[in-house]
């Protein structure tokens, strides 16, 4: 608890964590100053003191209300998170292309083996997106239903990775969450693409390209 009695979260990184990702996330938290993200109260080495946002994750909306409502909330959170800031962005954010290295390596190996795998197609899509980004800006890098929490200040994202790239990438992971039958329902995919297209001002087909590129990268 803080001096005034309000609770806070201590996040202590372990050696097996992706420390570089997490530390870039610390810098993103500091830069956003609570806009769309939980507030960073303090940090030292591999420890962070973070605003306690609550216990109700976006997954609860998915379970209690409906998928469309949860998607609308995630779109609103991303809009706040991607909004302009009068402060200079962190200089150590990871370029989105670096995030896709493993997909490009897998696609190259498959091509050399004479395989026409989904990874080959996804790598071509990723290269097209990365070569022609619509609006490069700081990104969360890992938006999904368990990384959005309902706080007294409204819905906020937690656990950013600190990426720099096309905002469409932040929507991509949502298509695969939760990882169950919903992911393969065409109506659900179309609904999400429509909502994110409206909130981000991107063609829904481009957002679907981000989704398949991210899906194969994750795989």
Mean pLDDT of the chain: 93
pLDDT of residue 198: 97
**pLDDT tens figures, 71-99:** 999 999 999 999 999 999 999 999 999 99
Round to whole Å and give the CA distance between 111 and 134: 29
Please say if the pLDDT value at position 65 is more than 70: no
pLDDT, tens digit, 9 for 90 and up, residues 144-158: 999 999 999 999 999
What's the pTM? 0.92
Q: Which two tokens stand for residue 144?
A: 């999904």
33 is written with which tokens? 């100053």
In terms of C-beta density within 10 A (0-12 exposed, 13-18 middle, 19 or more buried), how is residue 10 classed?
exposed
Asked if 142 is an active-site residue, the reply is yes
Given 21, 67, 142, 166, the catalytic residue: 142
Other Cβ atoms closer than 10 A to 71: 25
- Measured distance CA(1)–CA(190) in Å, rounded: 44
Please give the order of strands across the beta sheet that includes 137-139: 94-95, 163-165, 137-139
């Amino acid at each position: 608890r803080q001096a005034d009695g309000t609770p806070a979260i201590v996040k202590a990184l372990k050696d097996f964590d992706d420390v570089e990702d997490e530390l870039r996330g610390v810098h993103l938290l500091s830069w956003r100053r609570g806009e769309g993200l939980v507030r960073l109260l303090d940090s030292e080495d591999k420890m962070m003191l973070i605003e306690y946002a609550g216990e109700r994750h976006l997954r609860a909306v998915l379970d209690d209300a409906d998928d469309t409502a949860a998607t609308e909330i995630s779109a609103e959170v991303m809009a706040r998170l991607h909004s302009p800031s009068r402060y200079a962005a962190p200089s150590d954010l990871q370029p989105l292309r670096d995030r896709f290295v493993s997909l490009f390596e897998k696609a190259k190996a498959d091509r050399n083996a004479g395989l026409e795998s989904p990874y080959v197609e996804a790598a071509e899509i990723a290269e097209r997106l990365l070569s022609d980004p619509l609006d490069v800006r700081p990104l969360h890098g890992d938006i999904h239903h368990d990384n959005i929490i309902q706080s007294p200040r409204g819905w906020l994202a937690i656990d950013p990775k600190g990426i720099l790239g096309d905002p469409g990438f932040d929507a991509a992971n949502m298509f695969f969450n939760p990882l169950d039958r919903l992911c393969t329902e065409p109506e659900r995919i179309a609904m999400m693409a429509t909502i994110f297209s409206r909130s981000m001002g991107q063609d829904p087909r481009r957002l679907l390209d981000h989704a398949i590129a991210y899906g194969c990268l994750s795989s």
